[in-house]
Amino acid sequence: MSTTSLLLVIPCYNEQEVLRETTAQLTALLGSMQQSGLIGKHQLLLVDDGSKDATWSLIEELSQLNPAISGLKLAHNVGHQQALWAGLEWAATSPYEAIVSIDADLQDDIEAIREMVIQYRAGYEIVYGVRKERKTDTAFKKHTAQLFYKLMSSLGGEVVYNHADFRLMSRRTLQSLVAHPERNLFLRGLVCSLGYRSTSVYYDRKERFAGESKYPLSKMLNFAIDGITSFSVKPLRLITLFGIFILLIAVVAICYALYAFIANQTIPGWTSLLISMWLIGGAILTAIGIIGEYIGKIYKEVKRRPRYFIEKSANLPQ
């Protein structure tokens, strides 16, 4: 079997402390994979996400020393997901057959790339890198992350548990991905929704070896909310259901209020206030929910997601 051409896409934001080491380790890995006949042509694509430190000059320097290193500099910091997208969009039109996205900080075990390529060559078009355990994360990060994955799947968004943005995609699946014109990006969910033959490889996640996380709690929260709201309109439906539930309670409350009124156990004004409070509350919530249903529809329309992707065909006339 011929070798696979491989492109690594690496978003970098203020990563001057790690880039030298990262590119050295990745280059060594790719060299050894080439020697073992797994891959042929290969390239690193470093996407500088508008860094404020010396990241870009370092990328330029590294790319002059090594022709297998290239860079893209974004004019402004647009965030991890959009920066990765920039790299992937470039990759989708490149000559590389397999594209791996990985963070710049080497927290993900780069040896897993070898396994990913092996799986790709075995016929899997998307290979998810999945963390075995979160030993190095704080208990807080671990639990919030788990909560997020559970919430996400209960709301109907597909995600691979403990998979971040370390994955291999074939060029064809990448082309399907970049056919999504939406601006709110939650890549790991979007990739899962593509379909195609996929599998996972498992690895241990390490500590960042230099620099600090660019994902503080506030960014993590935003990311989680973005993830849920870009895949699910269920929260809107929950409002409708809640409204109906309140209306049911209103019926009970009305019966009780009337009973208390008739039994003369009330002070003046209580009955009418209680009844109108529950009725109006329930009616407002239901109405908001109904509006929400339409907003949900509009939301799905404006995303203009592609309707389907053809994976295979048989005996079609030319």
Binding residues for ligand UDP (CB under 6 A): 11-13, 15, 49, 77, 79-80, 83, 103-105, 107, 213-215
Binding at 171: pick from Mg ion, ligand UDP, none (beta carbon under 5-8 Å per type): none
Kindly write down the DSSP assignment for every residue of 69-105, as one continuous string. Answer: EEEEE-SS---HHHHHHHHHHHHHTSS-SEEEE--TT
Binding at 131: pick from ligand UDP, Mg ion, none (beta carbon under 5-8 Å per type): none
Residue 256: CB minimum distance to Mg ion, A: 56
Cα→Cα distances 100→108, 113, 133, 183, 220, Å: 12, 8, 21, 22, 23
Binding at 49: pick from ligand UDP, Mg ion, none (beta carbon under 5-8 Å per type): ligand UDP
Binding at 188: pick from Mg ion, ligand UDP, none (beta carbon under 5-8 Å per type): none
Which residue do the tokens 């927290």 mark? 107
Residue 38: CB minimum distance to ligand UDP, A: 24
Q: Please say which residue, 109 or 125, places its beta carbon nearer to ligand UDP.
A: 109
Q: Which two tokens stand for residue 35?
A: 């020697």
Binding at 79: pick from Mg ion, ligand UDP, none (beta carbon under 5-8 Å per type): ligand UDP
Residue 142 burial by CB count (10 A; 0-12/13-18/19+): exposed, middle or buried? middle
Q: Please say which residue, 11 or 289, places its beta carbon nearer to Mg ion.
A: 11
Residue 164: CB minimum distance to Mg ion, A: 9
Residue 264 burial by CB count (10 A; 0-12/13-18/19+): exposed, middle or buried? exposed
In whole angstroms, give the CA distance from residue 147 to residue 316. Answer: 46
Q: Please say which residue, 107 or 119, places its beta carbon nearer to Mg ion.
A: 107
Kindly write down the DSSP assignment for every residue of 164-208, as one continuous string. Answer: EEEEEEEHHHHHHHHT---SS--HHHHHHTT-SSEEEEEE-----
Which residue do the tokens 């500590």 mark? 207
Q: Please say which residue, 43 or 107, places its beta carbon nearer to Mg ion.
A: 107
Residue 209: CB minimum distance to ligand UDP, A: 11
Residue 31: CB minimum distance to ligand UDP, A: 22
**CA end-to-end span of the chain:** 28
Binding at 227: pick from ligand UDP, Mg ion, none (beta carbon under 5-8 Å per type): none
Q: Please say which residue, 171 or 205, places its beta carbon nearer to Mg ion.
A: 205
Q: Please say which residue, 79 or 189, places its beta carbon nearer to ligand UDP.
A: 79
In whole angstroms, give the CA distance from residue 225 to residue 88. Answer: 23
Residue 203: CB minimum distance to ligand UDP, A: 14
Residue 129: CB minimum distance to ligand UDP, A: 13
DSSP type of residue 295: H
Binding at 120: pick from Mg ion, ligand UDP, none (beta carbon under 5-8 Å per type): none
